[in-house]
Structure 1
Amino acid sequence: MIVQQRAYQHPHQPSEVRLVVYETAAAARRVEGMPDDAGYLVTEEWRGAGKVIKTLGFFPDRTPALDVLSARAQELEGQLYRPVAPAA
């Protein structure tokens, strides 16, 4: 389930960056290297000609996950990225 998402676009680049916090249930996935515990997964998705997804972290609590999303959003805004409405 998506807890929060933010989308950004650079004025001179065609790609979109989407920051997302997902809430996951315990043992809901079997992905090598990911915890089986319940928690919050933070990702950074780059969408352009292709799609690249980076994991920014996995947290047992919501607050640290949202803090990471906010910190990364500030970094993107410092690089001239601007908020846009997320694509459906």
Structure 2
Amino acid sequence: MSTVMNLLLIRFALIVGAVVLLVIVGFTALVILKRGGRLPEACRAAEPLLRAFAEGGGRDRPRGRAGRGGGARRAAARAVLRYLEDARDDGRPSR
């Protein structure tokens, strides 16, 4: 039983480590784009990709393991799209 618990703990640690690494890489990319003044360009380039992802990409069923988290990811993509559209409508630069 302890072997199974150790394996589950190691799996959890690897997943958390990967998520933390992705957050750090994303934040670093955001800071580099913002300091270089290319963040608005990146937002305009990412908008079609986010829109396609938020709309489901034409797939009827989710891929992967029973589509876990697909709804949450799409909701996050829609929230980012709403922010980008509001920023563009207000005439203020995207953050």
TM-score by length of 2: 0.28
- Report which of the two has the higher share of strand: 1
- Report which of the two has the higher share of helix: 2
TM-score by length of 1: 0.30
Pair member with larger Rg: 2
